[in-house]
Structure 1
Amino acid sequence: MKYQASCHCGQNAFTFEGEVSDVLACNCSMCQRRGSLLWFTPRENLQLQTPESNSSAYTFHKHVIQHRFCPHCGIHLYGLGTNPQGTAIAAINMRCVEGIDLDTIPVKHFDGRSV
Structure 2
Amino acid sequence: MAIRGSCHCKKTVFEVTEAPETVTACTCSYCSKSGALWAYYKPDQFKLVTPQEDVATYKWRTFTVKHHFCANCGCSTYGESPDWSTGEPDFDNPQIGVNARLFDDFDLDSVEVVVIDGKNLW
- Smaller-chain TM-score bracket: over 0.9
TM-score, reference length from structure 2: 0.89
TM-score, reference length from structure 1: 0.95
What number of residue pairs does the alignment pair up?
A: 115
Residue pair 2:3, 2:19 contacting (<8 A) in 1 also: no
Corresponding residue number in structure 2 for 1:36: 36
Residue pair 2:2, 2:15 contacting (<8 A) in 1 also: yes
Distance, in Å, in 2 between the alignment partners of 1:85 and 1:53 is 25
Q: Which moved more, 1:12-21 or 1:69-78?
A: 12-21
| Deviation >4 Å, runs of 4+ | none
Distance, in Å, in 2 between the alignment partners of 1:78 and 1:54 is 13
Stretches of structure 1 lacking an aligned partner (at least 5 in a row): none
Q: Which amino acid aligns with 2:30?
A: M
Give the C-alpha shift of residue 70 in structure 1: 0.7
1:91 correspondence with 2:115 = no
Corresponding residue number in structure 2 for 1:112: 118
What percent of counterpart residues are identical? 29
Stretches of structure 2 lacking an aligned partner (at least 5 in a row): 84-89
Give the C-alpha shift of residue 16 in structure 1: 0.9
Give the C-alpha shift of residue 104 in structure 1: 1.2
Corresponding residue number in structure 2 for 1:2: 2
Distance, in Å, in 2 between the alignment partners of 1:6 and 1:112 is 26
